[in-house]
A and B are shown apart, each in its own frame.
Chain A
């Protein structure tokens, strides 16, 4: 944030951003698939400082019953921010912003899914923001889309999303918090289906001229294509084709977890017993 007395950067002059990135460069993005074994599909996204978990359940029976639609599945996304995800504590009760983002995410995701195949059902998507620093809604959309693909839900396409906009006199890709708080900042979260360049999420905070707008969308779509490659690789990484060998992992992550949990508990118990006996010895002495 630029305080009074501090010099406001001018990107047109500097040719470099506050965090050293180029104008059309994304923050480092990494995606992990299938991180939560209890969900049908899940993903973890780290995008700059943003850390986001997404889980997908369903298609399952939509309840309460009046939410069912006999012609299509209902996609219901829930966006939540952890209380510790922002510098000041966030009240965990869903506020206006949470509800709005849940709504736009649901609508964007619904566009990518073949909803007609699952009448009377609901596809539940939960996205949880663990750490945030501008552009958490696009990170959530990226994570949710990958988690849906992991759940095996039939989709037209993955959804790639990125933030674009203007700050410090220049059109830039993937704004961070400092740039979002610039005096002339314009923030445009953009989500597309990369095959057809169909736009499924588009919001704008601020004002742009017509020329600037054209540049912003072109740059945003270019950024989304970069995100798409990372999403694709993350999904394919999990499944390496080839021959099996007996030493291969036998899966069953849940049971393994339980086993390791038991072992840890046992070890802890042993340690406690040791400590106790040592204490008793000391007391006796």
Chain B
């Protein structure tokens, strides 16, 4: 059974393995955030419904260059701390406003992220989504992502930090679908509904 919980609400009175967004007090497990929990799961876990991006090691992210100094580039990662890439790590020169894709190589205790494998993205558009809802955009085994790619014919890269980069194909349709998924991220049967929507759209054309 899935259930919406508010901060401070009991997730489980039993001893369970601790998942994310929960804390223990007086032998009970409470939720930290407004989110959804599965009461029958093995873990006491809450999936948040809103929130900021917290960098985690090995995340693929999409950043925007916000500052250029002699030694390197400041990258806006949609997190509360900006990241830094030294010039020595980049093959090409970047300018303010350029879009890069990168991988988080290390996160320190102040939640500042070091980036690796940075690559400049040529052209395309960025769609912003709530970071905690990104998993629904990717789906199980990337099923939703594959569907979006084949349905709109676009080149899509989804950053875990809530930025979707897309080029070619039907970007207008993609934006529509992404905002639909984002608005209904807490409901089930999303992939099949999107599939049906795409089928209908194709018939219209």
- Whether A152 contacts B80 by the Cβ 8 Å rule is no
Asked if B75 is at the interface of the complex by the 8 Å CB criterion, the answer is no
Q: Known: A244-B193, A246-B197. Contact between A121 and B80, CB under 8 A? A: yes
For A232, give the chain B residue with the smallest CB separation: B6
Number of A-B contacts (CB under 8 A): 119
Nearest-Cβ distance from residue B153 to partner chain A, whole angstroms: 21
CB B148 to nearest CB in A, in angstroms, measures 15
Give A22-51 as 1s and 0s: 1 = Cβ < 8 Å from B's Cβ atoms.
000000000000000000110000000000
Q: Does A250 contact B (CB under 8 A)?
A: yes
Q: Which residue of A lies closest to B3 (CB)?
A: A241
Interface residues on B, range: 35 or more
| B90 in contact (CB, < 8 A) | no
Bound-state CA distance A193–B183 (Å) is 31
Among the 9-residue stretches B27-35, B91-99, B154-162, B163-171, the one with 4 or more Cβ atoms under 8 Å from chain A is B27-35
Interface membership of chain A positions 248-266, coded 1 if the CB is closer than 8 angstroms to chain B and 0 otherwise: 1111100000000000000
User: Do B190 and A119 touch across chains, with their CB atoms under 8 A apart?
Assistant: no
Q: Quick check: B190 and A154 within 8 Å, CB to CB?
A: no
Q: Answer yes or no: B86 CB below 8 A from chain A CBs.
A: no
**In the complex the two chains form, what is the Cα distance from A227 to B200 in whole Å?**
47
Determine if B80 and A58 form an interchain contact, defined as CB atoms under 8 angstroms apart: yes
Report whether A250 and B183 are in contact in the complex, using a CB–CB cutoff of 8 Å: yes
Which of the candidate stretches B11-19, B49-57, B118-126, B137-145 sits at the interface with the other chain? B49-57
Interface flag for A120 (CB, 8 Å): yes
Which A residues touch B186, using CB under 8 A? 239, 241
Of A96-104, A155-163, A201-209, A274-282, the one contacting chain B is A155-163
Is there contact, CB below 8 Å, between A59 and B7? Answer: no
Q: A231 vs B8: C-alpha distance in the bound complex, in angstroms?
A: 12
Q: Chain B residue with minimal CB distance to A148?
A: B7
| Interface status of A235 (Cβ within 8 A of chain B) | yes
Whose C-beta in chain A lies nearest to the C-beta of B34? A149
**Would B184 and A155 count as touching, CB distance under 8 A?**
no
Residues of B within 8 A of A252 (CB): 179, 183
Contact present for A244 and B188 (CB under 8 Å):
yes
Residue numbers in B under 8 Å from A251 (CB-CB): 179-180, 182-184
The chain A residues found within 8 Å of chain B, CB to CB, are: 40-41, 58-61, 70, 112, 114, 118-121, 149-158, 193-196, 231-232, 235-236, 239, 241-246, 248-252
Query: With contacts A149-B33, A152-B132 known, what are 8 further pairs, Cβ within 8 A?
Result: A58-B52, A119-B111, A120-B110, A152-B49, A152-B51, A196-B25, A235-B6, A242-B187
